[in-house]
């Protein structure tokens, strides 16, 4: 873990409710794909956010959002808007990508939990992994799928990768999967025993997913989520 000063280099909307944040650390900072950082609002108030980038990129990218009523995100964003420099603790969490495992991989994101799986997905692509990778991204509305085009292109260029967006409240035009994201996975895999499963999203989702996946053969030691430490 490294505590470091960062310049707020960019705040730009990904959707009406999610902001892309780019931080430039004062020196290169190590972290693993799937780890998170904490933004220090004060000495007593530190907010964790998954790092969407990978260390080779130099800058730190975050996706901050969620429900409009959610002060967790809005207070952190206000802090970033009001300060050109902030303090962050980088390289936290145990749910990072297990690069040396040979198991096929399921990445499960609920809403802004996408930030976490995006980091791992980029690391997988950079490492040229040649084993099955299934990226499921569940959102309430289609408009929240801010990286859909990129992910569909990624899946189209490599036979090992699949991208499955799952919309909870679809419009009539939506032609993809619907419902809760973990239920789509339960439908698609008779057993989850063989898979390394990385997941991030609302705490309530993490609890539901853990119980349901264990029931469907998932191995606890092959399921990774920092939310498990909070629930
Ligand atoms: C270590 C850590 C890192 C964090 N990183 C971030 C971050 O990078 N960015 C950020 O904004 N916040 C982050 N948070 C805070 C928190 O995790 C987010 O507020 C949360 O992921 C926001 O989800 P959402 O509102 O986007 O999802 P929602 O829009 O509420 O849900 C998206 C989808 O998730 C599934 N889902 C939701 N609830 C349930 C349920 N009860 N049962 C089954 N499925 C469900 C559904 O498929 C739904 O469509 C982090 C928290 C911690 C502890």
Could you read off the pLDDT of 23-51 as tens digits, one per residue?
Answer: 999 999 999 999 999 999 998 999 999 99
Task: Output the pLDDT for position 231.
Answer: 82
**In this structure, is residue 97 part of a structural domain?**
no
Query: Which amino acid residue places its CA nearest to atom 18 of ligand 1?
Result: 202
Both 17 and 73 in a single domain?
yes
Weakest-pLDDT range from 1-10, 64-73, 206-215: 64-73
Query: Which amino acid residue places its CA nearest to atom 48 of ligand 1?
Result: 139
27 CA to middle of ligand 1, Å?
30
Both 19 and 83 in a single domain?
yes
Both 139 and 167 in a single domain?
yes
**In this structure, is residue 197 part of a structural domain?**
yes
Backbone angles phi, psi at 139, to 5 degrees: -140, 160
Q: Structurally, how many domains does the chain consist of?
A: 2
Output the six-digit token pair for 100: 């040396």
Residue 69 has pLDDT above 70, yes or no: no
Cβ 38 vs Cβ 126: under 8 Å: no
Residue 2 has pLDDT above 90, yes or no: no
Cβ 149 vs Cβ 117: under 8 Å: no
Task: Output the pLDDT for position 152.
Answer: 94
Both 81 and 133 in a single domain?
no
Q: How far is CA 15 from CA 142, 143, 154, 178, in A?
A: 11, 7, 21, 20
Our mutation pick for probing the ligand 1 site, out of 67, 205, 208, counting the most ligand atoms within 8 A of Cβ, is 205
Instruction: State whether the Cα torsion 10-108-144-204 is positive or negative.
Output: negative
Q: What is the CATH number of the domain that holds 110?
A: 3.40.50.80
Q: What is the mean pLDDT of the chain?
A: 95
Provide the β-strand partners of residue 197. 106, 223
Among 25, 57, 92, the domain-final residue is 92
Segment 12-22 mean pLDDT: 95
**In this structure, is residue 100 part of a structural domain?**
no
Query: Which amino acid residue places its CA nearest to atom 44 of ligand 1?
Result: 205
Among 58, 92, 126, the domain-final residue is 92
Q: Write out the residue range of the structural domain in which residue 113 sits.
A: 105-229
Both 29 and 143 in a single domain?
no
Ligand 1 touching residue 178 (CB < 6 A)? no
Both 85 and 109 in a single domain?
no
Could you read off the pLDDT of 80-129 as tens digits, one per residue?
Answer: 999 999 999 999 999 999 999 999 999 999 999 999 999 999 999 999 99
Q: What is the CATH number of the domain that holds 82?
A: 2.40.30.10
Strands (E), 2-84: 2-13, 19-25, 36-40, 46-50, 60-64
Cβ 2 vs Cβ 14: under 8 Å: no
Both 84 and 180 in a single domain?
no
Write down how long the chain is.
Answer: 231
Both 149 and 177 in a single domain?
yes
**In this structure, is residue 98 part of a structural domain?**
no
Both 10 and 85 in a single domain?
yes
Both 44 and 126 in a single domain?
no
Both 109 and 202 in a single domain?
yes
Query: Which amino acid residue places its CA nearest to atom 52 of ligand 1?
Result: 48
Ligand 1 touching residue 170 (CB < 6 A)? no
208 CA to middle of ligand 1, Å?
13
Of these ranges, 14-18, 20-24, 62-66, the one predicted with the greatest mean pLDDT is 20-24
């Amino acid at each position: 873990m490294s505590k470091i000063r960062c310049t707020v280099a960019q705040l730009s909307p990904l959707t009406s409710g999610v902001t892309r944040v780019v931080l430039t650390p004062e020196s290169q900072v190590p972290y693993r794909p799937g780890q998170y950082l904490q933004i220090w609002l004060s000495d007593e108030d530190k907010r964790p956010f998954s790092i969407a980038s990978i260390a080779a990129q130099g800058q730190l990218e975050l996706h901050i959002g969620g429900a409009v009523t959610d002060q967790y995100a809005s207070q952190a964003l206000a802090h970033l808007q009001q300060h050109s420099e902030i303090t962050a603790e980088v390289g936290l969490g145990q749910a990072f990508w297990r690069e040396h495992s040979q198991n096929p991989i399921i990445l499960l994101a609920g809403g802004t939990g996408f930030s976490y799986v995006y980091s791992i997905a980029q690391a997988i692509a950079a490492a040229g992994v040649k084993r099955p990778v299934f990226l499921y991204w569940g959102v309430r509305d289609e408009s929240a799928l801010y990286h859909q085009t990129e992910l569909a292109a990624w899946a189209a260029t490599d036979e090992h990768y699949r991208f499955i967006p799952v919309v909870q409240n679809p419009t009539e035009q939506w032609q993809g999967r619907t419902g809760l994201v973990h239920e789509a996975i339960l439908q698609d895999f008779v057993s989850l025993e063989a898979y390394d499963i990385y997941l991030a999203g609302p705490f309530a989702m993490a609890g539901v997913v853990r119980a349901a996946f264990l029931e469907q053969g998932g191995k606890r030691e092959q399921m990774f989520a920092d939310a498990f430490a909070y629930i």
